[in-house]
Structure 1
């Protein structure tokens, strides 16, 4: 009987340990840093498919979207912090509810337009400096097995896929890399109407400009559109580590040069 009692006590202690570990992990994830795994190439080459990072949730304060399933009992935003132009941000998609990561391009009240691939904000074209080619292998990438778009298409499997790399500088003087696949002026990504960002909303774009679902597509068409302030989850500051394989557990595919890499 004593042995059964000890076994029962041991089981209860294990259950309690797991319970409190989950509570602590949940509080940490909600209040401080949320893990995020990059599944698509829309932010190349700033973020690559397979990058693993922690989202700084303290940067902008907290809203109902700070909790899993948008379950935080918060109206509006508390301990609010203002995002800065050029931040790389994880936010909740206003229509689908999925978590997206993009670069903050437009602040409330801004006017935005893309003309033949050049971004103009508040009437000022962003300068673009040629930074050579971004190259990668033409093969399925990440857990979704997506293949990259190539400016030198057609490219056979295993061949070198190329894209033009540009350094863009925004109104605040912040510079970052963008990728260009095509120069077709009639592509909706490369030539747009003028967007007027409403108060309390933000405009986001992917750095991989020709391969990004972002604010250039309206919410009526299931795009991102203008993102409300309360939908911002946090800022991306650093890549913790990165895997070029289909899973983070494929340690032999880890990219050692991206460990603790600062996100510009």
Structure 2
């Protein structure tokens, strides 16, 4: 009996180790798992969403691995982000690293400017069409009234944005010229996002982690009052959605 118990424990430990190794390899080289802590990407991503991020979409570097070991300063097996991608990137400041998720708006060489809440790319006004007006309770507890627009980028990518006002903090900017190997990133919640218009600046390709592909499940607060399908407190309308 003792020998059988010992063998069972050894097999259990082997199973746990196998699962752990598989998880580390999967989340390092295939899809990483991230959660959304803020409303900067509303309405595309909601606070509480859990998402899978494709790490092989843009290749690998130090930020592809746990604890960001400085073993790969430059990317390997790399490909370039495309305009309209929703991407995760990592920035290191004051000795701490932080993950961000924003949308790729400007490519290397692009000229980007905000004027009265409207986006200009290479001197061209980007089309937006009003979808509806939305009133909801934000994750911080305050009531927000926003216009939801569908914006169409120059390559045809359509996505939704929130605009509370066209005279917000980053609704009138200087002209930005995106440097080589850098990208201009913006949140879809235009008046609730610090991004390349503000202190984040241009994002180097070597800081990209991957492309956000799908919401797996969500801990979204159904009491916010948005048009999201919920069963009691369970926001099943946020489960297994492709990220556009």
Per the normalisation by structure 1, the TM-score is 0.82
Deviation at 1:72, TM superposition (A): 6.3
Q: 1:252 to 1:36 in 2, by over 3 A?
A: farther
Contact 1:66 1:72 in 2 (8 A): no
Q: 1:259 to 1:77 in 2, by over 3 A?
A: same
Cα distance in 2, alignment partners of residues 215 and 147 from structure 1: 26
Equivalent position of 1:153 in the other structure: none
Cα distance in 1, alignment partners of residues 142 and 201 from structure 2: 24
Deviating 4+ runs (over 6 angstroms)? none
CA RMSD of aligned residues (A): 2.1
Equivalent position of 1:231 in the other structure: 207
Equivalent position of 1:103 in the other structure: 103
1:11 maps onto 2:9 in alignment: yes
> Pick from 179, 188, 197: which aligns with 2:169?
188
Q: How many residues align?
A: 235
> Pick from 64, 67, 73: which aligns with 1:66?
64
1:242 maps onto 2:218 in alignment: yes
Q: Deviations over 1:160-199 (max 9, x none)?
A: xx21111111111211111111232xx4311111111111
Contact 1:62 1:77 in 2 (8 A): yes
Q: Which has the higher strand share?
A: 2
Cα distance in 2, alignment partners of residues 71 and 21 from structure 1: 23
In structure 2, the gaps of 5 or more residues are 223-230
Q: 1:149 to 1:202 in 2, by over 3 A?
A: farther
In structure 1, the gaps of 5 or more residues are 151-161, 218-222
Equivalent position of 1:147 in the other structure: 141
Cα distance in 2, alignment partners of residues 77 and 33 from structure 1: 17
1:92-241 matches, cutoff 5 A: 92-95=90-93, 96-136=96-136, 138=137, 141=139, 146-148=140-142, 150=144, 162-184=145-167, 187-217=168-198, 223-241=199-217
Contact 2:135 2:143 in 1 (8 A): no
